[in-house]
A and B are shown apart, each in its own frame.
Chain A
Amino acid sequence: MSESLIEVHACCKSFPTAEGKGSFQALQDVSVTVGRGEVVALLGRSGSGKSTLLRIMAGLIPYTSGRVTSDGTPLTGPNADVAMVFQSFALLPWLTVIENVEIGLEARAVGRFARTRRALKAIDMVGLDGFESAYPRELSGGMKQRVGFARAMVVEPKVLFLDEPFSALDVLTAENLRGEIDELWNAGTFPAQSILLVTHNIEEAVFLADRVLVLGSNPGRIRGEVRVDLKRPHDRNDPRFKELTDYLYAVMTNPAREIAPEAPATVPATPVGPPAVPRPALARPLPPVRVGTISGLLELIEDMGPNEDAAQIAARLAVSVDDFLAILDAAVLLGFATVDAGKVALSSAGLAFATAPIQESKNVFRTQVLANVPIVATIARTLAEKENKSMRADFFLDLLEEHYSDSEAREQFETAVEWGRFSELFEYDASEERVWLSEAPVSPA
């Protein structure tokens, strides 16, 4: 582990925005090392730039500044030392399984016989023998990803890159394939020297990786590293396994917390870290979550009792960590819940919202949304001041576009409309793209 294969030093990446009026900082000052013989996981929520970082290391996209080396040589163009497994499988639909697996060898000008021999071996390794001449569309999702693994492993890369390889599969299939990959790695005959895994699944990171790098958002950066000090294979029933996942949940639900590599079992209650930088009211993004979902979460927390672990709640909800954190964020933003040291508690408003009958809970929601969500309050106020109590959606979209990209602005607006509609503050006519104040609805005639 002393020898490093891929080194990223002080790397930055920014994209120009769609209108060309500025740029978006995807990664800021990122340094990462992937050593020989280790499994490293990049863990982060969507928008943390983890896939961007992976693609920079694979040489698929250029970086803005910094230095990236692979096995000692600076990277220019696609990295020949790595092979990637894609979230969406990325199989060519017009090639059979064996042709898809051979394609990487073909690109490296391996002779036909050697190609077939090696491809058959790789197909055998992932348990797909008998399917050599099948086309991808005949295969289930799990089998498609096995082809994806075979295609990457057949070229015997120095580092195998896994870009959320299990997240497009159903839970059982994912679990099965994850276990098989882990077995292959632990057996010591794995056709790659290291693995770099990108994921937003905390359990998966702790199960597969020796080191978990936690990424933060806005801009994407490395927040810190947690070492998984378990014997391979990582045993899910080991109390330390639960400690590690709980710790990671705690740091993921609190962007301000500093990360300790040793992941102490008892998480300090008061978060340490820099105070949040004050931002303009509209620049604080709303998690794109429906009201019904928030209410579902609050009812579940109420059922499970006070101070439940976030990890526990996420497990009960059976949604992806990304989705779960977005729902939790929304509940916190609206003042319905508080999160402290990975434990979730309902506020009095949250309790009222979760338990009151529908009309009353709307009143609670309206109070909370007006007090805590500037964009909804702005829309309601603007409409109230207008003579005809209505306004074109463009107006609010333009306001939002000062802080967000086009598509983000639309998502923010849609969430605001959803919350405003539920609290009966205003109505929205999608075909006219017009917002109306609720008290005195003016018919579009």
Chain B
Amino acid sequence: MTEEHVPPLPHSDPVRVAVRRRSFGLADVAVFLMTLALLAAIARVGAGTVVAFGPTHQLAAISLDAHNLPYYAGRSVLRMFVALLASFAFTFAYGYAAARSRPAERVLIPLLDILQSVPVLGFLSITVTGFIALFPGSLLGLECASIFAIFTSQAWNMAFSFYQSLRTLPADLEEASTAYRLSPWQRFRQLEVPAGMIPLVWNAMMSFGGGWFFLAASEAISVLNQSYALPGVGSYVAAAVAKQDLGALGWAVLTMAIVIVAIDQLFWRPLVAWSDRFRLDQTTGADAPHSWVYDLLRASRLPRRLRAALRPPADRVDRALERLTAVRTGAPRGRSASFETGFTVVLVVVVAALIALAVRFVLATVGFGEVWHALHLGLLTLVRVLVLLVFASLVWTPIGVAIGFHPRLAQVLQPVALFLASFPANFIFPFATLAFIRLHVPINAGSVLLMALGAQWYILFNTIAGAASIPTDLREMADDIGLRGWNRWRRLVLPGIFSAWVTGGITASGGAWNASIVSEVVSWGTTTLTASGLGAYIADATGKGDWPRITLGVGTMSLYVVGVNRLVWRRLYALAQRKYRL
């Protein structure tokens, strides 16, 4: 039987059929063209990043002509991917160090915990000034600042995920790699990275989605009484807001939607499909992730040729690294108790000194009254975050559960929820602002809605996942014994989705705190609405370049976030793990 005799298969998708009919030709051409297009795009877009710029020559203004949007989008996408690359590099280094060295772990993990809780946007002012000083006379400084903002929204999550994978490596695999005397490099390449790959890719995908928000917020900013705008979709939106151009805003939203879907299809889906081979449980599930791009790449001969050509140099690098990290012989060294104590003392002293310095700086410049003021504002923002969580839960939990209980519906709508979660809410802010102005909605209440635009989807998304994970036999049991109405919710549904809801709540509240910095102050043209809250306080201080207030604002917000995490979320999470684990 040859391929020509195959009867037409009605349910196969066109790509697969094309791939099969002309075994290689089409797939190869497609892959070749895609590669060329990608290279050309990178060259065209990348050239703009090293343009000279200084106080003397202003940046070219952002043009609102929709024809420029593909180029702007290209610049933004490039920024996102550079940040992603940096996040991966950071993840491997940081996660590895934290997991492999006890003393490093004791510094790095709490630090990661704090970095995760700190409002990234509050630091923009610091980083922008720093990077501009680093690359005087080039746009690269601003680019770096924007990329850094995106990086900070992705890297901590990813590093934590990799660290956790390293700490939970299957013991037998770890023993085997020790017994067969794998060098650290071999271990890293053959065991540690593959074992952490699936959670890492998922985490990177989710963080990447969140990164759009920070991209949009960091491309056009006012810092220290000066406005900067990098060519990109985010600054295009900012320019459209300043000019009150609704049409341009519409184009920007459309562009963003296309970009998100395209990157999902062309990058993340194939990556997820590829990473499925690193599953540790050794079962090949029928529901393995699929991607048409990945199928195309596999059907084509080009990637295989390329891999074969690259193999010899790669092998050489591999061998060199293996030799560099050769296994040390002799018994593993233990650290003495006195070293441990000394380390702890140094740690405590350093942390105490840092806190004392910050407190002294704030007190010496703004005084106690200002601290109380910031704490009070923080309380207002906290109330907003809580109101948001309660309302988002009340609205989305029933909907999420209804979707999650219908597998087919969930299959269709879960990607939609994921898309909505990664769509940068700040693209929608101008529309909402306009509505607030027209309908006379007070911004003190309206900002809750703005914060919810981005944060609520995490609740929906996780509720769907939680409901879908309630085993069928438990639901059948509930039917069988006649659990209905409120009793069914109280006994089965709410406890069943609790873990997932907590995960969603943590993410949503983190997102909401960050969003407060851009949603408590919004403008449309020359009208600016300012709510009273810690986010507005930080935004105001950042714009004016008021260092003591920036420090105080960011510090206070970090305090609130860390405090709420420790006092509420951490306990709920522990409760979910202890009692409500399915």
Q: Do A and B come from one complex?
A: yes
B1-45 residues at the A interface, CB under 8 angstroms: 1-3, 6, 9-12, 16, 19-20
Q: A378-B1, A433-B298, A444-B304 are in contact. Are A92 and B286 (CB under 8 A)?
A: no
For B12, the chain A residues whose CB sits under 8 A away are: 398
Contact B298 A107 (CB under 8 A): no
Contact B482 A104 (CB under 8 A): yes
Q: A92-B491, A378-B1, A381-B1 are in contact. Are A83 and B481 (CB under 8 A)?
A: yes
Contact A394 B580 (CB under 8 A): no
Whether a CB of chain A sits under 8 angstroms from the CB of B101 is no
Contact B483 A395 (CB under 8 A): no
Closest to A433 in B: B298
Which has the most chain A C-beta neighbours within 10 Å: B286, B481, B582? B481
Whether a CB of chain B sits under 8 angstroms from the CB of A113 is no
Q: Identify which of A88, A103, A107, A444 contacts B484 (C-beta below 8 A).
A: A107
For A55, the chain B residues whose CB sits under 8 A away are: 476
Whether a CB of chain A sits under 8 angstroms from the CB of B319 is no
For A60, the chain B residues whose CB sits under 8 A away are: 476, 479-480
For B277, the chain A residues whose CB sits under 8 A away are: 431
Whether a CB of chain A sits under 8 angstroms from the CB of B581 is yes
Whether a CB of chain B sits under 8 angstroms from the CB of A82 is yes
Contact A394 B474 (CB under 8 A): no
A395 to chain B, nearest CB (A): 6
Contact B1 A398 (CB under 8 A): no
Q: Identify which of A103, A151, A382, A392 contacts B491 (C-beta below 8 A).
A: A103
Whether a CB of chain B sits under 8 angstroms from the CB of A430 is yes
A339 to chain B, nearest CB (A): 31
Whether a CB of chain A sits under 8 angstroms from the CB of B473 is yes
A81-108 residues at the B interface, CB under 8 angstroms: 82-84, 86-88, 90, 92-95, 103-104, 106-108
B21 to chain A, nearest CB (A): 11
Count contacts on A: residues with CB < 8 A to the other chain: 49
Q: A86-B473, A107-B487, A394-B16 are in contact. Are A58 and B284 (CB under 8 A)?
A: no
Contact B286 A406 (CB under 8 A): yes
For B10, the chain A residues whose CB sits under 8 A away are: 21
Majority-rule SS of B interface residues = helix
Contact B579 A94 (CB under 8 A): yes
B577 to chain A, nearest CB (A): 12
Instruction: Give bound CA distance, A78 to B580, whole Å.
Output: 27
B523 to chain A, nearest CB (A): 48
Contact A92 B495 (CB under 8 A): yes
Whether a CB of chain A sits under 8 angstroms from the CB of B477 is yes
Q: Identify which of B2, B471, B483, B580 contacts A107 (C-beta below 8 A).
A: B483
For A445, the chain B residues whose CB sits under 8 A away are: 304, 307-308, 311
Whether a CB of chain B sits under 8 angstroms from the CB of A279 is no
Whether a CB of chain A sits under 8 angstroms from the CB of B492 is yes
Q: A90-B471, A394-B20 are in contact. Are A83 and B2 (CB under 8 A)?
A: no
Contact B481 A382 (CB under 8 A): no
Contact B284 A93 (CB under 8 A): no
Cβ contacts B296-324/A at 8 Å (1 or 0 each) = 00110000100110010000000000000
Whether a CB of chain B sits under 8 angstroms from the CB of A19 is yes
Which has the most chain A C-beta neighbours within 10 Å: B2, B307, B474, B480? B480
A377-410 residues at the B interface, CB under 8 angstroms: 378, 381-382, 385-386, 392, 394-395, 398, 401-402, 406-407, 410
B228-265 residues at the A interface, CB under 8 angstroms: none
A241 to chain B, nearest CB (A): 32
Contact B487 A382 (CB under 8 A): no
Which has the most chain A C-beta neighbours within 10 Å: B277, B479, B492? B479
Q: A19-B11, A90-B471, A386-B2 are in contact. Are A58 and B20 (CB under 8 A)?
A: no
For B477, the chain A residues whose CB sits under 8 A away are: 84, 86, 90
Whether a CB of chain B sits under 8 angstroms from the CB of A3 is no
Contact A83 B480 (CB under 8 A): yes
Instruction: Give bound CA distance, A87 to B472, whole Å.
Output: 12
Whether a CB of chain B sits under 8 angstroms from the CB of A344 is no
Contact B483 A103 (CB under 8 A): yes
Closest to B492 in A: A92
Which has the most chain B C-beta neighbours within 10 Å: A78, A94, A395? A94
Which has the most chain A C-beta neighbours within 10 Å: B12, B286, B474, B482? B482
Q: A92-B491, A392-B20 are in contact. Are A398 and B482 (CB under 8 A)?
A: no
Contact A78 B480 (CB under 8 A): yes
Instruction: Give bound CA distance, A155 to B480, whole Å.
Output: 11
Contact B480 A82 (CB under 8 A): yes
Contact A93 B580 (CB under 8 A): yes
Q: A80-B482, A151-B481 are in contact. Are A382 and B11 (CB under 8 A)?
A: no
Closest to A391 in B: B3
Contact B304 A106 (CB under 8 A): no
Instruction: Give bound CA distance, A107 to B489, whole Å.
Output: 12
For B487, the chain A residues whose CB sits under 8 A away are: 106-107
Instruction: Give bound CA distance, A80 to B481, whole Å.
Output: 7
Contact B298 A432 (CB under 8 A): yes
Contact A430 B480 (CB under 8 A): no
Contact A90 B582 (CB under 8 A): no
For B284, the chain A residues whose CB sits under 8 A away are: 410, 414, 430
For A406, the chain B residues whose CB sits under 8 A away are: 286
Closest to A410 in B: B286
For A414, the chain B residues whose CB sits under 8 A away are: 284
Closest to A443 in B: B308
A residues at B contact (CB < 8 Å): 19, 21, 55, 58-60, 78, 80, 82-84, 86-88, 90, 92-95, 103-104, 106-108, 135, 137, 151, 155, 378, 381-382, 385-386, 392, 394-395, 398, 401-402, 406-407, 410, 414, 430-433, 444-445
4 nearest A-B pairs in the assembled complex, by CB-CB distance? A104-B481, A90-B477, A445-B308, A90-B473
Interchain Cβ contacts under 8 Å between A and B, 17 examples = A59-B479, A60-B479, A80-B482, A83-B481, A84-B477, A87-B473, A88-B471, A90-B471, A90-B473, A94-B580, A104-B482, A106-B491, A137-B581, A395-B3, A401-B11, A406-B286, A445-B307
B residues at A contact (CB < 8 Å): 1-3, 6, 9-12, 16, 19-20, 277, 284, 286, 298-299, 304, 307-308, 311, 471, 473-474, 476-477, 479-484, 487, 491-492, 495, 579-582
Besides A19-B11, A410-B286, 8 other A-B contacts (C-beta < 8 A): A78-B480, A103-B483, A382-B1, A385-B1, A395-B3, A398-B6, A431-B277, A445-B308
